[in-house]
Structure 1
Amino acid sequence: MQPRYQPGTTIRRCEVLHGQLWMEHPVTVVADDGDVLAVLLEPGSTFVFPGHPFGPHPWGAHEQWGASIVLQLLRAGDKYGVWKFYETDGTFRHWYVNFEAPIVRHDDGFDTDDYGLDLIVHPDGRREWKDVEHLNAQMTQGRITLETVGEVLAAAEDVIGLLDEDERWWAPWDDWTPA
């Protein structure tokens, strides 16, 4: 049985590349129903980058998360998380779809891996793809396989379908704000 986390608990969000820890940092559990895990990434969350045979993590020059508050919604089995960005004063900035490996839960946190492709959904509904070139670069570098690229593109198509049909599973979080 997969662990469920209690709201208010601090857990570890780990990026795992080729079976080895590449980056980790703390997040705070907002809610967990066993299917959707909601965690909060706050400014100052400290990054840890253990040595990795693949080399340094792309964020290795950063010691901590920057100047935004991020609600991360992660649904079991999805190759993406849906993030809700806020300014530090709590003002909503935008939704952000982060294409990443499906989470693997552990007693003290979860594993994932960022695939590099992102989609920003602005408050007015405008969509903006970000880091599209990273998919090819990650494949060329050996971080992901051609099969994974295909799966990410299929997940991106699914997300676009959810947005087009206004069938966003994350819609219940539209009114949530950091308090």
Structure 2
Amino acid sequence: MDRFFERGEVILYRRVRNGRVMLAIPMRVVEDSPQHLVLYQAPNTAFKSARNPDGSKVRDFSSWVLTDLVWKGGSLLRLIRPGDWHCVDVEFDSLGDFESWYVNFQTPFQRTARGVDTDDLVVDLVVTADRGYRVKDTDDFRRAVAEGHISADSAAHVEIELARMIERVRRCEEPFVSSTWLTWQPPAGWSSPPSVPPYAGQ
């Protein structure tokens, strides 16, 4: 049985497609239980991510390179539940104040000895503090499905999950309600981002 991670432990959150790492970022464990895994990403965290050779966003998933980058936004908490086809980021600005929710659609996460792996499914849902929302990257999603980079089964899960999460926003249901996560502050010492381990892209 895969172990649960300790509070404060630095693990590697990766997005992997067909055995190739497309994103690897070190994050600290806030909570880990059978119900959920909560991770913290500090400002200015260094990470590796897929990019075109010119540094632009990847839209053709048949050709890309893993690039060293630094996170330019504020901090965030990543809420992940076993079996879910999404994760929810609680995003904070540079002063540590709650800014928005960001729903990333992905395959259910798998635990590894070093962290967790998932596969990004392109579509994202951005939810503002007043619960306005917008769906991102639907054209890229359709292109990835048409070109076979995302399976028909995974695409069906995304469509169902996206509709379900939008309905939660409209009904003001979890996780889009006031909660302790919106005012959460990192413990002393967590503001310094962890380094990217040498095996991150492997």
TM-score (ref. length: structure 1): 0.86
Q: Which runs of 5+ in 1 are unaligned?
A: none
Residue equivalent to 2:185: 178
Mapping of 1:86-165 within 5 angstroms?
86-165=92-171
| 8 Å CA contact 1:82, 1:170 repeated in 2 | no
Q: Which runs of 5+ in 2 are unaligned?
A: 51-60, 187-202
Given that residues 73 and 170 in structure 1 are in contact (C-alpha distance below 8 angstroms), is that contact kept between their aligned partners in structure 2? no
| CA deviations over 1:12-65 (Å, ceiling 9, x no partner) | 011110133232120111111222110012222222359xx94325xx555122
Amino acid aligned to 2:8: G
2:17 is matched with 17
Q: How many residues align?
A: 175
Which amino acid in 2 is paired with 1:164? R
- Structure 1 or 2, whichever has the larger Rg, is 2
For residues 62 and 170 of structure 1, the distance between their equivalents in structure 2, rounded to whole angstroms, comes to 32
AA of the residue aligned to 1:12? L
Work out the CA distance in 2 between the residues paired with 1:173 and 1:103: 24
CA distance in 2, matches of 1:163, 1:49: 29
Give me the whole-angstrom Cα distance separating, in 2, the residues matched to 1:173 and 1:118. Answer: 24
1: distance between equivalents of 2:80 and 2:129?
20
Secondary structure of 1:90's partner?
Answer: coil
How far has the Cα of 1:142 moved from its partner? 3.0
In structure 2, relative to structure 1, the CA distance for the partners of 1:144 and 1:158 (3 Å cut) is: same
Alpha-carbon contact 2:90-2:182 (below 8 Å) kept: no
Deviates more, 1:109-118 or 1:165-174: 165-174
Three-state SS of the structure 2 residue aligned to 1:63 is strand
Tell me the CA shift for residue 140 of structure 1. Answer: 3.2
Query: What is the Cα-based RMSD across aligned positions, in Å?
Result: 2.3
| Structure with greater contact order relative to length (CA < 8 Å, sep ≥ 6) | 2
Pick closer, same or farther for the CA change 1:108–1:62 going to 2, 3 Å: closer
Percent identical residues: 25
Deviation at 1:4, TM superposition (A): 0.9
